[in-house]
A and B are shown apart, each in its own frame.
Chain A
Amino acid sequence: MRRLAAAALLLALLAPLPALLLAGGTGEGTPLLPRLLAAAVAALAATALGGAAGMGLHARFRGRGAAFALVALPLLLPPVLPGAALLLAGERTETGGLPGTVLWHVLLGAPLVAGLVMAALGRIDPALFRAAQACGATPDLAARRILRPRLLPALAAGAALSFALSVGEGTVAAMLEAGAPVTAAPILSVLVVLGMLLLALLARPKSGTA
């Protein structure tokens, strides 16, 4: 019974996407290539910054709570607010809309990457490091053999997620880039998201054994 309700709900969630394909291309917005390039730049920056922040926030330091709140802040803001704020900032600094869009997508993707990295680090048994030390491994070797294989899948998943988020996110992008309708290239975003999720799924079983 509950399973049935859940399945019905999932179908309802996905309903607008096939309808979108049926409704035909409304992709008269921004051209595709710049959008994909901007998303790639945003995903790379989000992965680098978010990965570093996730590793930092995993440890304890003074002001960790404040840093954590600031990193999570972009996710907790109503999307129209950064849209308006970055539009104003772009006008005052005369930089135009695109840098603001990329910047905002970095800020949205980075906390996701940081969260994935923190989760991956939290799953590591501290006994592993003690065992490595007892076996005479240098800290560098231990980091390479214990940390890296667990961090890389988290970073890859975070990068894929950031890229998909950046391609799909339309509210801030539509406010910042004049002329781009809110529904710019929606079909492309669905296709990219599908491909990204497939990739993430294929990569998952190998790393998900921890």
Chain B
Amino acid sequence: MKPDPLKAALLAIPLVLLVLVGAVAPLGLLLWQSVLESEVSPALPRTLRVLGHWQGKGLPDDMAFETLAADLAALRAAGPAGEDAMARADARLAADVPALRGVLPETARVAAETGTTRAVSVLVAQPAWAEAESWAALRRAGEGVSGFHLFAALGLRRTAGGFEEAPEGARARTALLRGVGAAGLATLACLVLAWPLARWIAEAPPGRAALLSAATALPLLAGEGARATGWGALLLPGSAAAFAALVLGLLPLMVLPVALALRHHGPRLPRAAAALGVPPATVLRRVRLPLARRGLAAGAALVFAHALGALAVPAALLPDEPLAAEALADAARAGRWSEAGALAALLLLPALLVAGVLLIRRRGRAA
């Protein structure tokens, strides 16, 4: 068989294209949402255009007050769709400056009932509009692209001089840290636990090895939902139970690559080392583990990524304390795409980092 590079590339191209269309492009779209400011500009387009001319010192001129009142009146006239847009803009402003919660709907309501000029009616409705800080927050939320949501997912907000703690900052950071920390711990636990089972599979005769690996793969193939239901019936909810279920569910992802690597190299080298009088602990450290290196690296990358993205098991056994993955799923289901995109970026980064470090170094050494 003479390998023809062009033919080989042509054979691989359809799947590569499908991955680009089906995985890379949607992920790119999701990550793009995290830097896009999409909440305030559909609600208050004219106000933001006028604020573009504002120097940022003192209050903006009459024109800004006028257009704000006009935009809010237009939203009120638009019915439910307008109310929805106003609520989204209000939530975005409140995430930046908590004192602005409810200010937009309240202004719209009171200004509509005030008989003065529009500019005055805005000021009468809400004293918050007498402060430059409120207008600055409004203008920030109208920039096309910003890092606001990324920092918010880290529990930070940007101020003139640097960063400060966001209102819900501690909670957001805890969810993120717990998610990444649990994934790291689960990977370590799998590294230790997988070894005896992987060696059993690797050293068994072919028929039994196939049976054992099939039994190992069974809980993995049954799916996370099936495992979550099963463990939910067996264990009481709690952190320890959730962690145990997570580790045991992902263990096949570590066992099978390690068993494959061990089986690939065969039993000859460790046997030879033992026959030469090397103590068992040294055989493990100097011969068996290096032989299994590729399997361990692949298994660690797989377990870490899948632990980071686990949804059903933590939801079933740890209902009160959502991890980062559940926060992301909730935001996505509710259509809060900026928040979902920011969380996705923060989860994708460690997953790709771990996979890159583990798998690319392996290739470098092998070459």
Query: Residues on A close to B: CB < 8 A?
Result: 2-3, 5-7, 9-10, 12-20, 22-23, 26, 49-50, 52-53, 55-65, 67, 70-71, 73-89, 91-92, 103-104, 106-107, 110, 114, 126, 129, 139, 142-143, 147, 161, 164-165, 167-171, 174-175, 181-184, 186-187, 189-190, 193-194, 196-197, 200-201, 204-205, 208
Q: Shortest Cβ distance from B128 into chain A, in angstroms?
A: 33
Instruction: Give the contacting residue for A200; candidates B5, B19, B214, B340; CB below 8 A.
Output: B214
DSSP majority for the A interface? helix
Docked-complex contact B23 and A184, CB < 8 angstroms: no
A-B contact pairs, 10 of them (CB 8 A): A59-B8, A62-B9, A80-B328, A81-B348, A89-B26, A89-B29, A171-B309, A182-B225, A183-B312, A186-B223
- B171-193 interface (Cβ within 8 A of A): 193
For B196, the chain A residues whose CB sits under 8 A away are 2-3, 5-6, 9
Task: Give the nearest-CB partner of A9 in chain B.
Answer: B197
Docked-complex contact B210 and A201, CB < 8 angstroms: yes
A20-B312 contact given A6-B197, A184-B225, CB 8 Å threshold: no
Docked-complex contact A19 and B225, CB < 8 angstroms: no
Does residue B18 face the partner (Cβ distance < 8 Å to A)?
yes
Task: Give the nearest-CB partner of A190 in chain B.
Answer: B222
Docked-complex contact A19 and B231, CB < 8 angstroms: yes
Q: How many residues of B contact A (CB 8 A)?
A: 88
Task: Give the nearest-CB partner of B253 in chain A.
Answer: A75
A63-B234 contact given A77-B305, A84-B332, CB 8 Å threshold: no
Instruction: Give the contacting residue for B311; candidates A85, A143, A164, A171; CB below 8 A.
Output: A171
Q: Which of A50, A142, A167, A170 has the most CB of B within 10 A?
A: A170
Q: A17-B222, A53-B12, A84-B30 are in contact. List 16 more A-B contacts (CB 8 A).
A: A7-B200, A9-B196, A13-B216, A14-B219, A20-B222, A59-B7, A67-B12, A70-B20, A76-B301, A79-B306, A86-B26, A168-B222, A171-B311, A175-B329, A189-B226, A200-B214
- Rank and list the top 9 A-B pairs by shortest CB-CB distance, nearest first: A78-B309, A16-B230, A56-B11, A168-B223, A170-B225, A56-B12, A186-B226, A59-B3, A59-B8
Instruction: Give the contacting residue for A208; candidates B200, B206, B226; CB below 8 A.
Output: B206
Measured between alpha carbons, how far is A170 from B228 in the docked complex, in Å?
11
Docked-complex contact B310 and A79, CB < 8 angstroms: yes
Instruction: Give the contacting residue for B218; candidates A50, A170, A171, A194; CB below 8 A.
Output: A194
Q: Which of A14, A15, A84 has the most CB of B within 10 A?
A: A84
Q: Which of B200, B222, B329 has the most CB of A within 10 A?
A: B222
Q: Shortest Cβ distance from B7 into chain A, in angstroms?
A: 8
